Structure 1
Amino acid sequence: MLKLVVANKLYSSWSLRPWAVLKAFDIPFEEIVIPLRQPDSRERLLEYSPSGKVPVLVDGDVVVWESMAIVEYLAESFPDRAIWPRDVRARAHARAIANEMHGGFQPLRQACPMHLGARFATPPLTDSLQANIDRIEDIWSGARNRFGGGGPYLFGTFTGADAMYLPIVTRFETYGVPVREATRAYMDTMLAHPVFTEWRTSAFNESWRIPDYSVGHTLIESYV
């Protein structure tokens, strides 16, 4: 059976992405959670991951790290699951926006780290942060308008592209980021997805906390 090694579910955006793909497409796997910032975290991670980071997928003697690489490996290994859209144009577009997510949006990541256990005041919307928000909203609306006619997700049905952007949805929610009406509708769809609600419930039941993820942010409400 596949093994997926993830970190604290309250905070680990990169872990959420391939986990969501595995769950959404009913691919059996064993979950291994290694909490970060523990005395033995690095040692335990290196047992599975050559980079010493999560997530990492283990499939027999195949080891795949980096979220995007894991999603691609799953798409190749389970071609019947339609992890990427079937249409070649939609598939190319989905991979492009997923890779843009994987490599970009640093101002947003720094200003709004993933934290499912709290609601914070919106940080100052600097030019670079607002540019990230605008670009993400344009990506979502562009995919929905061009390819999303068959359902409520970016390409109609849930795909690897939705999984890659799921942590961004949570960031917009956690920090009360002002968004367009269409963006809000997509967010509501994603936040109600059974895969996300399962992850969030598990996150709330974790005993590990990393106070650094709250530093510099004004707390409005705590859920854990």
Structure 2
Amino acid sequence: MYTLYIGNKNYSSWSLRPWILMTELGIPFTERLIPFNEPGYEPFASISPTAKVPCLHEGKDRVWDSLSIAEYLNERHKGVWPEDASARAWARSAAAEMHSGFGAVREICSMNCGVRIALHSVPDNLKKDIDRLGALWTEGVQRFGGPFLAGPKFTAVDAFYCPVAFRVQTYGVQLPPTAARYVETLLATRGMKKWYDEALQEVWRDLPHEEDTPKWGKVTQDLRK
């Protein structure tokens, strides 16, 4: 049995990736949530060699980093990546681009599921990232037929962009029609609804996440418990 260690659902975009992948593919696992900077919980260093989440445990195996977890699961389960070779190559490239890129989105639009934020402005580097997301999502849906990025089934590439879908919702990001419909498709999945509902119920507030928000925007709505 897998045990997946994650951080706060409201904030932890990296934790969401393997969680939503396993949930949507029906891969059984035990969830262990360790909130950020809260006393009384086991330290991240005790469950991961990098002292970060997510981390997947199976027996003596410790698999850290969301991309590594996806590949570990791919060796054991069908459906992690698309069956079609062209779609699979595209999906892996798109997932890797998310894994290593979109720095402005990460910095300015950090994941905070339970609030709505009006940005003070959209800097050029953020606009560039948003334009790239719109183009990439449009290409994937149109090339492979949708409604997901690499075809009719949810795969790892969608899991990697699920945290961005929450960011689009939080910050009211404007996208081309096809890309906007793709975000709606992700938000409507059973797993994303469950993650979102549970994020709203969390009572923890992580100051490093919360204190950075006023630099980039104004909270217009807080839906959290």
Q: Work out whether the TM-score is over 0.5.
A: yes
Give the structure 1 partner of residue 9 of structure 2. 9
- Give the match's secondary structure for 1:220: strand
User: Match of 1:174, as an amino acid?
Assistant: T
Confirm or deny that 1:179 pairs with 2:178. no
Name the counterpart of 2:20. 20
Contact 2:141 2:178 in 1 (8 A): no
Native 8 Å contact 2:88 2:150 kept in 1: no
> Does 1:144 find its partner at 2:105?
no
Whichever residue aligns with residue 55 of structure 1, its letter is P
**SS of equivalent residue, structure 1 residue 85:** coil
Is the Cα contact below 8 Å between 2:117 and 2:218 reproduced in 1? yes
Q: Name the CA distance, whole Å, in 2 between partners of 1:124 and 1:107.
A: 13
Give the secondary-structure state (helix, strand or coil) at the position aligned to 2:93: helix
One-letter code aligned to 1:113: S
Q: Contact 1:7/1:34 (CA < 8 Å) preserved in 2?
A: yes
Is residue 164 of structure 1 aligned with residue 160 of structure 2?
yes
- The aligned counterpart of 1:155 is 150
Match runs of 1:46-125 below 5 Å: 46-78=45-77, 81-125=78-122
| Offset, 1:74 | 0.6
Q: Deviations over 1:8-66 (max 9, x none)?
A: 0000000000000110111110100000012456x521111000000000011111100
Instruction: Indicate the SS of the match to 1:37.
Output: coil
Provide the secondary structure at the position in 2 that maps to 1:121: strand
Q: Higher mean Cα deviation, 206-215 or 63-72?
A: 206-215
Partners of 2:32 and 2:120 in 1: CA distance: 33
Structure 1: how far apart are the matches of 2:45 and 2:82?
34
Partner of 2:191: 195
Structure 2: state its 5+ residue gaps.
none
Per the TM alignment, residue 127 of structure 1 is displaced from its structure 2 partner at its CA by 1.0
Distance 1:28 1:44 in 2: 25
State how 1:28-47 maps to structure 2 within 5 Å.
28-39=28-39, 44-47=43-46
Name the aligned partner's letter for residue 6 of structure 1. I
Report the AA paired with residue 132 of structure 1.
D
What stretches of structure 1 of length at least 5 have no aligned partner?
Answer: none
Across the aligned residues of Structure 1 and Structure 2, the Cα RMSD in angstroms comes to 1.3
Check the 8 A contact 2:91/2:157 in 1, yes or no.
Answer: yes
Letter of the 1:96 counterpart:
S
Deviates more, 1:174-183 or 1:65-74: 174-183
Contact map agreement 1:56 1:65 (CA 8 A) in 2: yes
Partner Cα separation in structure 1 for residue 96 and residue 4 of structure 2: 21
Give the stretch that moved more between structures: 204-213 or 189-198.
204-213
Normalising by the residue count of structure 1, what TM-score does the alignment of the two structures yield? 0.94
Amino acid corresponding to residue 75 of structure 1 in structure 2: N
TM-score, normalised with respect to structure 2? 0.93
Q: Does structure 2 retain, via aligned residues, the 8 Å contact 1:3–1:57?
A: yes
